[in-house]
Structure formats: structure tokens, C-alpha cells
């Protein structure tokens, strides 16, 4: 119980929200809108998984939103020029991995602080994309949407892909040596190094993985509609960081699980539609989101403080 206390308490908060919705707005629980919501959030889950990895090894990546846009536009442009879907997917993941490698090289190679490095790359990629595309939509060929499957099959594919990825990464993090390395580096870099782990290599790999996952997520978003909006992805970094942190991953590294990130994201993703269903005016949304983030961390803070004293 105490091992996954944080995960369970966030799940509890989510449960309360769902009960409130079940009583006051049962219309929330309809198959199609929930499926659409889940499919739309599947890419965010993929990024949140990556973000959890990055934060567990005591780094942060605030350039994911910009990376997401760049990868989406690149994949979209390729598809628009009649490249097969597989090529577009590979291009999205490849572009993401390259952008991630740039972050990784700067952080691990030059030992620069990741928050500043990714702040710089966030600005550079975002404004570079604006400069290049001027905000123009990319119009996709028809066969790309849902990978050419039917709508619900496509949505289930995306959800299943994100779910499988989550399970695979979570298990790998628990049971594979590479996963333990991540915690080791996040907890104490020097100790990890003395134990024979190369912290810089672990960090570099983590950033590349983050980039590749962002590229995958971008592609999962691209296939959901017939046009790519280069602005999509703006603010994604804050959303995923908030989800991961609400889910109990410690920002100072070495602590937390992907399950936590998953529940945290579920909670945050449900807030916006829940407010619509509860007929709460849109201008309360940001304040409520902020309050929930604060409550989650305060609850944790109070608990650890009480434990200490």
C-alpha cells in the first residue's frame, strides 16, 4: 500500500471525480465520446511516459511541445507528397529521435542543465517552425486517417498502441537492468557511476527515447484528422510535466512510476471535459487545474513532513 500510496491517492481523486460525474452528469459515460477522448489523449500518454523517464533520471524536457509540432509537420508533409504511411511514421520517429539527440548531446555531452537546454531548443524549434511554415495547415491524403482503417478500429489501434507502450515501459523500468540504471542515475549520479553505470550514456539514451516517443506521439496525432495544425502541441510540455508530477514522480529524480504518470494524466485529461459536463464556465478551468496540481503536491508534502516528525 505505502509503496504505491501516491498512485492510489491520485486514483482515488480520479474515482471521486468520476463518481461526481456519474451522479451529476451521467452523459459523460458514453462510448463514442469517451473513445474519442481516449484516442485524442493517447499521444499525450506516450509523451507522458517519456517525460516520466526523463524526470526519473533527474532531468526535464520542456521542448516536447515544439518537437511534437515539428515531427507532426514533417510526417504530414511526407504523407502529403504521397509517401507510404510507414515512411511517414519512420520519419516522425526519426525526426523526434534526432531532436532528442540534440538535447541529449548538450545535456549529457556538454553537461549543461537540461531545463535551460530544452528551454532554448523549445524556443528555437517553435519559432523556426513558425518561420518555415507560417502557421499553414498540412493537408493530408485521405488514406492516412486512421491508417486506412475504420474510425473505431483506428481509435482502438491508437489506444492499444499507447497502452502496450505504457505496460512495456513500466515493466522494463521495474525489471530490466536498463530501467534500474535510470533510477540509479536519478537517485545519485556519483554512486551510479561508481557502480559501473555511465550516467551520461543513460541520460543521452533517455533524451533520444523521449524524442522518439514524441515523434511517435506526433504521428499518432496526425492520423486522427485530415489536416495537421502546426500549432498543435503548444503547451504539451506543461501538461505532461504536470501529469507526471501529480502522479507522484519526484522532480528531484529517482522516485516514481509510470503507473503514477498514467493516473496523473487520466485525472488531468478528464478535467476539461468534466467541466463542460458539469456546466462550469470555461474561465474557471485554468484556476482549477492549478489548484489540483498544488493540492496533489501539498498532500504529498504534508504526508512526508508528518512521517519525518
Partner 1 sequence: MSAAPAAAPRWKAILFRHETLLLLVLVAEWFYFDAVGARFATLDNTFEIVRHHVEIGLLALVMTPVILTGGIDLSVGSLLGLCAILFGKFWRDAGLSPLEAGACTIVVGALAGGLNAALITELRLPPLIVTLGTYSLFRGLAEAITHGSDTFTGFPSSFLALGQGHWLGLPAQTPVFVVVALGVWLLVHRTTFGRGFRAIGFAPEGARYAGIPVERRLALAYVLTGMVAAVAAIIYTARLGQARADAGTGYELYAITAVVLGGTSIFGGVGSVHGTLLGLAAIAVLDDGLVHARLPREAAGVLTGVLLLLALTGSVAPKLWAARSKRRPAPPAATPPSPPLPTP
Partner 2 sequence: MKRILPLFLLAGLVLAGCSKSAETSGGGSAKKLTIALLPKSKGNAYFVSVRDGAQRAAQDLGVDLIFDGPTDTDPAKQNELVDNWTTLGVDVIAAACENKEGISTALRNAQSKGIKVITYDADAQTDARTFFVNQATPDGIGHALMDEAARLCAKSGQYAIITSTLTAANQNEWKKYIAERAADYPDMKLVAVRPCDDQKDKAQSEATALLSTYPDLKLIMAICSPGVPGAAEAVKQAGKAGKVKVMGLGLPNENKLYVHNGVTDSIILWNTEDLGYLTVQAAVALAKGTLKPGDTTFTAGKLGTFEIKGDNILLGKPFIFNKGNIDQFNF
Where does this chain bind partner 1 (CB under 8 A)? Answer: 60, 106, 110-113, 115-117, 119-124, 126-128, 130-131, 189-190, 193, 238, 241-242, 245, 251-252, 281-291, 293-294, 297-298, 300-302, 304-305
136 binds partner 2 per the rule CB under 8 A: yes
Is 106 within 8 Å of 92 (Cβ atoms)? no
The single residue among 14, 18, 20, 25 that binds partner 2, judged by CB under 8 A, is 25
> Which C-beta is closer to partner 2: that of 18 or that of 37?
37
Give CA–CA dist 139/133, Å, rounded. Answer: 13
Is 51 within 8 Å of 168 (Cβ atoms)? no
Give the list of residues 6+ apart from residue 203 with CB closer than 8 angstroms, or none. 57, 59, 104, 107, 108, 185
- What would the x/- binding string for partner 2 be over residues 221 to 240, using CB under 8 A? x---xxx-xxxx-xx-----
Q: Which does 110 bind (CB under 5 to 8 A by kind): partner 1, partner 2, none?
A: partner 1
> Which C-beta is closer to partner 1: that of 111 or that of 175?
111
Q: Which does 161 bind (CB under 5 to 8 A by kind): partner 2, partner 1, none?
A: none
The single residue among 9, 36, 157, 198 that binds partner 2, judged by CB under 8 A, is 36
Give CA–CA dist 244/251, Å, rounded. Answer: 9
Is 185 within 8 Å of 203 (Cβ atoms)? yes
Region near partner 2 per CB under 8 A, out of 100-108, 113-121, 134-142, 289-297: 134-142
30 binds partner 2 per the rule CB under 8 A: yes
Q: Which does 133 bind (CB under 5 to 8 A by kind): partner 2, partner 1, none?
A: partner 2
Residues in a beta bridge with 227: 139
Give the list of residues 6+ apart from residue 213 with CB closer than 8 angstroms, or none. 46, 47, 49, 50, 96, 165
Give the list of residues 6+ apart from residue 79 with CB closer than 8 angstroms, or none. 85, 88, 140, 141, 144, 222
In 3D space, the residue among 213, 282, 291 whose CA is nearest the CA of residue 246 turns out to be: 291
The single residue among 7, 13, 17, 28 that binds partner 2, judged by CB under 8 A, is 28
> Which C-beta is closer to partner 1: that of 116 or that of 171?
116
23 binds partner 2 per the rule CB under 8 A: no
- Chain Cα centroid distance, residue 154: 20
Footprint on this chain of partner 2 (rule: CB under 8 A): 25, 27-28, 30, 32-33, 36-37, 40, 127, 130, 133-137, 139, 151, 221, 225-227, 229-232, 234-235, 272-273, 276-277, 279, 281-283
Amino acid at each position: 500500500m505505502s509503496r504505491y500510496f501516491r498512485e492510489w491517492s491520485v486514483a482515488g481523486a480520479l474515482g471521486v471525480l468520476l463518481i461526481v460525474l456519474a451522479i451529476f452528469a451521467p452523459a459523460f459515460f458514453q462510448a463514442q465520446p469517451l473513445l474519442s477522448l481516449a484516442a485524442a489523449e493517447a499521444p499525450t500518454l506516450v509523451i507522458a511516459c517519456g517525460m516520466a523517464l526523463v524526470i526519473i533520471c533527474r532531468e526535464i524536457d520542456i521542448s516536447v511541445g515544439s518537437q511534437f509540432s515539428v515531427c507532426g509537420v514533417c510526417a504530414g508533409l511526407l504523407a502529403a507528397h504521397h509517401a507510404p504511411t510507414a515512411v511517414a511514421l519512420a520519419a516522425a520517429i526519426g525526426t523526434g529521435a534526432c531532436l532528442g539527440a540534440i538535447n541529449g548531446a548538450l545535456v549529457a555531452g556538454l553537461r549543461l542543465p537540461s531545463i535551460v537546454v530544452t528551454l532554448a531548443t523549445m524556443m528555437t524549434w517553435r519559432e523556426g517552425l513558425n518561420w518555415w511554415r507560417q502557421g499553414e495547415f498540412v493537408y493530408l491524403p485521405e488514406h492516412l486517417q486512421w491508417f486506412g482503417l475504420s474510425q473505431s478500429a483506428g481509435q482502438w489501434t491508437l489506444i492499444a498502441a499507447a497502452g502496450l507502450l505504457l505496460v512495456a515501459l513500466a515493466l522494463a523500468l521495474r525489471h530490466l537492468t536498463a530501467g534500474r540504471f535510470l533510477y540509479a542515475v536519478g537517485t545519485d549520479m556519483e554512486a551510479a557511476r561508481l557502480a559501473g553505470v555511465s550516467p551520461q550514456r543513460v541520460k543521452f539514451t533517455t533524451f533520444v527515447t523521449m524524442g522518439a516517443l514524441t515523434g511517435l506521439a506526433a504521428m499518432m496525432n496526425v492520423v486522427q484528422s485530415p489536416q495537421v495544425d502546426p500549432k498543435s502541441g503548444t503547451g504539451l510540455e506543461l501538461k505532461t510535466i504536470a501529469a507526471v508530477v501529480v502522479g507522484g514522480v519526484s522532480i528531484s529524480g529517482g522516485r516514481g512510476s509510470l503507473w503514477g504518470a498514467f493516473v496523473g494524466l487520466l485525472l488531468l485529461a478528464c478535467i476539461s471535459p468534466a467541466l463542460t459536463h458539469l456546466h462550469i464556465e470555461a474561465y474557471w478551468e485554468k484556476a482549477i487545474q492549478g489548484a489540483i496540481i498544488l493540492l496533489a503536491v501539498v498532500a504529498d508534502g504534508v504526508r512526508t513532513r508528518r512521517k519525518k516528525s
